[in-house]
Amino acid sequence: MAERVLLNGAGDSEFNEAVNTAVRYINAGEVIVVAAEFGYIYLADAFDKDAVKAVHILRGDQSGVAAQVFIKDVKVLTGIAKNSNINQDQLFAKFWPGLLSVTLNCQPGLSWDLGDGQRLGKVNVRVPNRKFLNHILQSTGPLVAGSVALTGKSVVRDLTQLPIYESDVGAIFDEGVLAEGPASTWLEISENEITVKRVGAISIEQLQVVIPS
């Protein structure tokens, strides 16, 4: 049975202890369940291939699907993704932390496998905006993140709807029933262009204010 930690109403010391517990499980190669902005997610060390594989199995992902990566801030990007000729820093300064997911070309030589066997040469990355999650990221490297909902199903906002056995994960961090909200907006940035893959919380009009082209 997974350790379950209740976060609602936690004081500062209990909150910090919960962060330390989450980091300890991640460093031990475990998958944990935490809240993102509008749904519960799996979280694991992006450089632990077994943990990443476990996330894919729990989600029922097809073979070859690359997991999304969460990072603590834009500075981490230089170690995992190549710069483009587009002034992407304006986008990140405006919309991170927040609901902007961006697919970028990976830096060569990374010792990870996000699920695609490094065949795609890309990484989808985001800086989330959720207090507990962000505090975890301050004490870890990049983390693989994936909705606890089975692939193709609606997000899970209530842990009573968790579609796994609790013994399948190391720990569950309970923030109660989460608010409903939009998905992230997803962009793909290549060397010279930006492609909108999904419009979500951030509109095309909001994006055009930052990068008119």
Structural domains in the chain plus CATH codes: 3-210 (3.90.870.10)
Q: What is the pTM of this model?
A: 0.96
CA 152 to chain centroid, in Å, comes to 17
Instruction: Name the 3-class secondary structure at 81.
Output: strand
Tell me the two tokens of residue 176: 């109660």
Q: How far apart are CA 3 and CA 129, in angstroms?
A: 24
pLDDT of residue 112: 94
Give 72's contacts (C-beta < 8 A, 6+ positions apart): 127, 134, 137, 138, 140
Largest CA distance in the chain: 51
Give the whole-angstrom CA distance, residue 179 versus residue 171. Answer: 22
Span 115-157, pLDDT tens digits: 998 888 999 999 999 999 999 999 999 999 999 999 999 999 9
Closest of 168, 153, 147 to residue 51, by C-alpha: 168
> From start to end of 37-117, where are the E strands?
40-45, 68-70, 100-105
Q: Tokens 């899970």 belong to which residue?
A: 156
The chain-wide mean pLDDT, for the chain, equals 95
pLDDT at 211: 86
pLDDT one-digit tens code per residue, 22-58? 999 999 999 999 999 999 999 999 999 999 999 999 9
For position 213, what pLDDT does the model report? 67
